Amino acid sequence: MNLSNGARALYTAYQSGVLRPSQVVANALAAARLGEPGLFLCITQERALQEARASDARWDAGQPLGPLDGVPVVWKDLFDVQGTPTTAASATRRNAAPALHDAATVQRLAACGCISLGKVGLTEFAYSGLGLNPHFGTPINRASMDGHRAPGGSSSGSAVAVAAGIACIGMGTDTGGSVRVPAAFNGLVGFKPSIGHFDKRGLFPLSETLDVPGPIANTVQDCAWVDAALRGAALQPLVAGAVAGMSFVVPTNLMFDGIEPEVHAAFDLLVQRLRAAGAQVRFEAFPAVDAFTALTARHGTIAAAEAYVWHQELVDGPLAQAIDRRVLLRLARGKTMTALDVLTLQAARVRLVRECAAQLGDAWMLSPTVVHVAPLVAPLEADDALFHSTNLRTLQNTLPGNFLDLCGVSLPMGTGAAGMPVGALISGAAGREEALLAAAAGVEQL
């Protein structure tokens, strides 16, 4: 069974007896074993089969653990999964010692009956929005019809495994767009919570300050169930918010710079549909976004500083030559940052988070997730300057949300050039995750 209809459809199939978890998992493992470069870095077959048998028994007894019982999930290889190495998709970590314990997020989803299929690929050390990886391979974007297009990053494998119908849920992380971008590039839903919303224990870091775990799935409902599971809350059906009466604010600064015409057209159509459904949509500048852009241009980024500190021995040691040259360049930028740069960014961030939240109030920020469709891989591989400029453009609309601590959901909103998916990003102030998911579900119905 293809899992593109999401966990809700799978739950219904289990309830009716049409399917059993062991059947679904056997098919998923068979697909995982096909060996597509860069997709599965580690298949946890024994664990998956054991978890499937346990789920079978619960369903047979009429006592499932809830709507996620028997649902296949994959993990970006930054999450510790007991008995497997956490490689961060780096050649320097191929021989890393196996994790002794599951990450907190892995434990939580297992407790709800989710079945872990294995670890999937990503950009090395999670440091790019495009998803390319020269060491383990770059997963194939399933929507591409004219050549190998980027899967989006850094949570590339998490998105592709869901788009391929192998898993219902692809767990990723988002530091500058790494859940929302691959969701947009693959026509999926990606949910980024605000900082501290989920437990990060057992997660290999890029930026201790900005990293957040988040799911990529086919529906907002699936993301909402994952959200509840990771918070230890009851897994209830999501009640979609009424679009009539919702208020959206579209930033007039930054978010449309360099946008492709087809992406702009899809976004304009979304705005028209929202207004026709009774929503209020207004366009205004966000000073906090301009301030973020100016700060990073002058001082660099918090992620660069923290990533360099974490990887300093590698970057300054003999193994540096084993790192993807494009990732190494970004890591090394943190080396040039001063204490003044870092402290200035941290202090400004506290103020700007507050100012942005005040401007939004109960409204939702609305923008394209990415201003272009997934680019072809070959030109990016051939030209490092093109790679870096494209990467910055890819992350243009998502980076401010991490710095400003916004929660966000990327939704499919149609197609752009070459028939590739494009996404709409709905964001809200920190702590409004439940309301955001309900609002996103309402928009999803349009």
> Splitting the chain (446 residues) into consecutive groups of 10 residues, what average pLDDT does each group show?
86 96 98 93 98 98 98 98 98 97 98 98 98 97 97 98 97 98 98 98 98 98 98 96 97 98 98 98 98 98 98 97 97 97 98 98 98 98 98 98 98 98 98 98 96
The number of beta carbons lying within 10 Å of the beta carbon of residue 268 is 10
Structural domain boundaries, residue 13: 6-231
SS3 354: helix
pLDDT per position as a tens digit, 192-214: 999 999 999 999 999 999 999 99
pLDDT per position as a tens digit, 288-304: 999 999 999 999 999 99
Distance separating alpha carbons of residues 306 and 286, to the nearest angstrom = 27
Co-location of 83 and 185 in the same domain: yes
- Token pair in block for residue 352: 């700007």
Report the pLDDT value the prediction gives residue 4, as an integer from 0 to 100: 84
Dump the DSSP string for 42-81: EE-HHHHHHHHHHHHHHHHTT---STTTT-EEEEETTB--
Cis bond before residue 154 (omega within 30° of 0)? yes
- Token pair in block for residue 289: 């976004």
Co-location of 105 and 70 in the same domain: yes
Does 152 reside within a domain? yes
**CATH number reported for the structural domain that contains residue 201 in this entry:** 3.90.1300.10
Tell me the C-alpha to C-alpha distance, in Å, between residue 192 and each of 172, 322, 343, 368, 409: 9, 31, 25, 15, 6
Does 195 reside within a domain? yes
The number of beta carbons lying within 10 Å of the beta carbon of residue 199 is 16
- Residues acting as catalytic residues: 76, 154, 178
Co-location of 227 and 254 in the same domain: no
- Token pair in block for residue 254: 């930054």
SS3 241: coil
Does 122 reside within a domain? yes
Residue 78 has phi, psi (to 5 degrees) of -115, -15
CA 191 to chain CA centroid, Å, is 7
Distance separating alpha carbons of residues 391 and 384, to the nearest angstrom = 10
Distance separating alpha carbons of residues 299 and 344, to the nearest angstrom = 8
User: Torsion angle, CA of 274/7/188/141, rounded to 10 degrees?
Assistant: -160
Q: Which of 231, 262, 287 corresponds to the end of one domain?
A: 231
